[in-house]
Chain A
Amino acid sequence: MFATRWKALGLLASVAAILMLAAACSSSSNNKTTTPGNGASATSPAGASATGSTSAPQQGGSITVQALQPQSFDPHFSAFAQDISIDRMVWRGLYRLDKNNKPQPEMAASQPQVSSDSLTYTVKLQSGLKWSDGAPLTAKDFVAGIVRTCAPDTAGQYTSFLFNIVGCEKYSGDTKADAATQQADQAALGVSAPDDTTIVFKLKNPQATFQIQLAMWFTFPVPTQIIKNPATDKWPDDPTKLAFNGPYKIQSYTQKDNLVLVRNDSYHSASSHEAYLDKITEKYIDDTEQADNAFRAGQVDVAIANLANLKAITSDSSTKDAYFHPSQYSSTLGMQFQMKKAPLDKFQVRLALSQAIDRKTLVGLVGGGTYQPATSWIPGALLGIQDDPFESQIGYNPTEAKKNLSDAGYPDGKGFPTLSLEIRNTPANQAVAAFVQNAYKTVLNINITIKAVDSKTRSADYTSRNFELFAPAGWNQDYPDPEDWVAGQFNTGGSQNFTDCSDPQIDSLMAKAAVNLNNDERIAQYKQINELISTKLCGIAPWWSQTVYDWLVNPKIHGMRDNSTSQDSILPSDWNVENWSVSK
């Protein structure tokens, strides 16, 4: 006969005990964090970190990093952060953003020549550039890149960023047009290569950020020796069949498993240098906690930190030296309002909803306390202001919140409709929703229902304006300029404006700032726009700023932490990968 009830229960209890012991033990045991990762050639323990930071970076070595699975290797189509991260390691554009977010010549030889009406940009390419397969890299490859992004068949998610180039918008809309029209529109594009080292861009309107666009992945060149017709030829599925001009090239790719990058000797930048590492292996691990466990076991050298367990990470000897929290924020998140749904059209209602949220406590609950309370939509660093400038106006203030709700016609919450808060279905977002629900109940005495759905359903509801409250929501920066934070989102009828924020002052300021080339003036204009958006809660109540991720970085790796900026995608300073090195 099977063991008796008590035997079985006893076994169960011992299993439970083992689970707890294991969790406790493994977090305190001194694991060999200094064990080199898969294939790493550095041999000394990480105790050498004290000496590593100031000496010149060593050439050679290899590392293994955890990353998220890429969906495509097509920079003109890419929209996912993990794809863009890889794109920037293996290809580069005419310019490159340095640590201060200023464009520096990369494939270009020098800064662009801008015509007096600011509508024509002439860029001189370095001569003698080569692709990783030996073929020459010339101006027509860059023209092909623009053509490809604007081509109707590509349908990339960032195509609209190039709509200021003459003819791009029309050309991209030619999906159902006949071949002749497509040919004509392609020829009419405002980009050309008069000779092998010159590229000329023609813009519709002056644009202060155009040079920044030339550092972005959707303007990367196309290897025309492999892809003869950039508008219609299919981009190869197998990335090893492509050619590269970035610091690294793809040696091998095993779907869902790993990607191996090796140094590209044909990379030649006008402002940067050859990469230090011989090899970078990306290992794809979806479960963040398991990625951290892999880090602890020495199977990967860099892993995304599981913020839910942050306390354990920062106290545990195997991870606390490796923990890296970037200092520059790339995202602002908060609660979005669908302004056409009553009573969200009333300013005082939105103000009450914003003032009822104690941002300081909220950030303590999610993100392990690494998020920063924010009342400004655009990160302060981009405008030269602090991050929390409007705290007294829209920040936590329960008395004011109650008063505002009452003034709006709902004393003590009476008569206020039950609004729905739509969230993405993850434990972290559920914690936020629980917090918000509780806050609105205790401070304002109103009820909200929580609608937790998956990412696609949520996006569908968002774009069809089928929502009332939408959180946490906001923006991840594409490029480090205030323009990126407002274009299309806050102007009446903007293509990305799903909250229906509509303010004539904002509209006129945005129209002016978009074509203003005087940097001080335009920053001042964006400051004003930011103040209007934030203090009037036009479509959004900002809650916190955050970095894209926090990481565990093996101390033997250098150049990652010091080069991290708000441009990080999946790995710290993955836009600047040639600076990574390992200490021997």
Chain B
Amino acid sequence: MAAYIFRRLIVLIPLLWAVATITFFLMHAVPGGPFVGEKSMPPVLIQHMEAKYGLDKNLGQQYVTFLDNLLHGDLGISYATQQPVTQVIRHGFPATIQLGITAFIFAIVVGLVLGVLSAVNQNGVFDYISVFIATIGAAIPSFVLALLLVLLLSLHFHWFDVIGWKFGNYKSMTLPVVALGLLPAAYIARITRASMLDVLRQDYIRTARAKGLRPLQIVNRHAMRNALVPVLTVAGPIFAGLITGSFIIEYTFAIPGIGTAFVDAVNLRDYGMIMGTVLLYAFAIAICNMLVDVSYGIVDPRIRY
């Protein structure tokens, strides 16, 4: 297992290099540059700024300089804020990761609970409720859902804040987490339900029931573990998706994360920030996938690394 983890980590290096290279050439292919402003500067000044940041050299030379800096852990300066990219990311990442993790836990817990209840209580009250929640989550885009939640629960009932993010304060955290996590929750609920139904049909469950075990014991002791495997499969991509896809929720709820940083960076042609956010996300996704594969090995004793 340790060797496997080590191998996966080693592979990260060429992977990130490839991602960085592709991103480098892609972002320079976007027309326009960072110093053409709304109030157009005299061309002479634009040339000065480009010279200041080395953008007047040809692309190949810029790439070499970029790689060299990258190996020293230097991602350059964000042109818009004049701050080092690593600093901007460091300030913004906490909020995004907090949001992502909370939404992830929400999605898993809600999804599992709904899925299990649905499978165990077919056509009962719980089934109805879970269908309702799953329907909303799966069918309505998150930005519309966010608006709906704000209109109803913030402005009408005054239960939650309209904007802002204070970690640990339920008033500010609830709406963004629900808006972001409801879609994955619905997805997990469907998978859990299907998988649970599958497991409940198995012979060993019938045996357990014949033995006289109560339903709760059956679910906990026998069914859950096996039903969880498909959920694990999607957990990785879901978490990655939550981290990378949080920008709409961050934008709507004015959450100071780096989710919006990428879209802003592309719009401003802030090359340093584009590269920084892409590398960060790629790294996060790769780690997630690795963790999922590792947990496979833990949960399913048949898998050996």
- A72 → chain B, closest Cβ, in Å? 5
Chain A residue with minimal CB distance to B33? A460
Pair A285/B139 contact, Cβ less than 8 Å: no
5 A-B pairs (CB sep. < 8 Å): A12-B135, A256-B257, A283-B164, A286-B260, A460-B36
How far, in angstroms, from A287 to B41 measured CA to CA in the complex? Answer: 28
Other than the known A3-B128, A25-B156, A476-B39, what 13 A-B pairs have Cβ atoms closer than 8 Å? Answer: A2-B131, A8-B135, A15-B148, A26-B152, A29-B156, A71-B81, A175-B48, A237-B82, A237-B84, A299-B161, A456-B34, A459-B37, A495-B44
Give the interface size class of chain A: 35 or more
Neighbouring A residues of B135 by C-beta, 8 Å: 8, 11-12, 15
Given known A-B contacts A8-B131, A153-B52, A254-B256, A297 and B162 have beta carbons under 8 A apart: yes
Residue of B nearest to A255 (CB): B91
A291 to B164, CA, bound (A): 11
- CB-contact partner of A160 in B45, B91, B151, under 8 A: B45
Contact B151 A157 (CB under 8 A): no
A79 CB-CB contact with B under 8 Å:
yes
Complex Cα distance, B136 from A434, in Å, reads: 34
Name the 4 nearest CB pairs between A and B, nearest first.
A460-B32, A256-B256, A22-B151, A495-B42
Decide yes or no whether B140 CB sits under 8 A from chain A. yes
Distance from A156 Cβ to chain B, minimum over Cβ atoms (Å): 8
Q: Across the interface, which residues of A come within 8 angstroms of B49, CB to CB?
A: 155
A459 neighbours in B (Cβ, 8 Å): 32, 36-38, 40
Which chain A residues border B42 with CB–CB below 8 Å? 160, 488, 495-496
Decide yes or no whether A296 CB sits under 8 A from chain B. Answer: yes
By a CB distance below 8 angstroms, the chain B residues around A460 are 31-33, 36
- A294 and B41 contact, CB distance less than 8 A: no
- The docked-state distance in angstroms from the alpha carbon of A18 to that of B127 is 22
A286 adjacent to B254 (CB under 8 Å): yes
State which residues 122-160 of A face B: CB under 8 Å. Answer: 152-153, 155, 157, 159-160
Query: Judging by beta carbons under 8 Å apart, are B162 and A463 in contact?
Result: no
Q: Which A residues are in CB contact (< 8 Å) with B87? A: 237
Q: A12–B46 Cα gap in the complex (Å)?
A: 53
Chain B residues within 8 Å of chain A by Cβ, number = 61
Q: Which residues from 28 to 70 on chain B have a C-beta closer than 8 Å to any C-beta of chain A? A: 31-34, 36-46, 48-49, 51-52
Across-interface contacts of B44 in A (CB, < 8 A): 173, 495
When distances are taken between beta carbons in the complex, the residues of chain B under 8 Å from A74 are 82
Q: Which residues of chain B from 259 to 274 have any CB-CB distance to chain A below 8 Å in the complex?
A: 260, 267-269
**Complex contact A456–B41 (CB within 8 A):** no
Say yes or no: is A284 at the interface (Cβ < 8 Å to chain B): yes
A293 at the binding interface (Cβ < 8 Å): yes
- B122: chain A residues within 8 A (beta carbon): 1
Q: Does B155 contact A (CB under 8 A)?
A: yes
B230 in contact (CB, < 8 A): no
Q: Answer whether residue A50 sits at the interface, using C-beta atoms and an 8 A cutoff.
A: no
Expressed in whole angstroms, the Cα–Cα distance for A71 and B52 within the complex equals 18
Nearest to B260 among chain A residues (CB) is A286
State whether A294 touches B162 (Cβ < 8 A): yes
A77 interface contact, C-beta 8 A: yes
Residues of B within 8 A of A180 (CB): none
If A18-B152, A496-B42 touch, whether A454 touches B161 (CB-CB below 8 Å) is: no
**Contact A72 B162, CB 8 Å, known A29-B156, A176-B51:** no
Mark out the residues of chain A between 65 and 82 whose CB falls within 8 Å of any chain B CB in the assembled complex. 71-72, 74, 77, 79
Task: Report if A290 contacts B (CB, 8 A).
Answer: yes
Instruction: Specify which of B122, B256, B260 lies most central, judged by the most chain A CB atoms within 10 Å of its CB.
Output: B256
**Alpha-carbon gap, A160 to B45, bound state (A):** 9
Question: What is the distance, in angstroms, from A241's C-beta to the closest C-beta of chain B?
Answer: 13
Q: Annotate B102-141 by CB proximity to A: 1 below 8 A, 0 otherwise.
A: 0000000000000000000011000110011001100110
Minimum distance in angstroms from A497 CB to a CB of chain B: 10
Looking at the assembled complex, report how far the CB atom of B50 sits from the nearest CB atom of chain A, in whole angstroms. Answer: 10
B154 at the interface (CB under 8 A from A): yes
Q: Is B20 an interface residue (CB 8 A)?
A: no
Chain B proximity of A332: nearest CB distance (Å): 14
Q: Which residues of B contact A496 (CB under 8 A)?
A: 40, 42
Do residues A293 and B154 form an inter-chain contact, with CB atoms below 8 A?
Answer: yes
**Which residues of chain B are near A235, meaning CB under 8 Å?**
82
Nearest A residue to B79 via CB reads A71
User: Restricting to B1-50, which residues have a CB under 8 Å from any CB of A?
Assistant: 31-34, 36-46, 48-49
Q: Which residues of A contact B136 (CB under 8 A)?
A: 11, 15
**A residues in contact with B34, CB < 8 Å:** 456
Q: Is A56 an interface residue (CB 8 A)?
A: no
Nearest chain A CB to B250's CB is how many angstroms away?
Answer: 9
> B139's closest neighbor in chain A, by CB?
A12
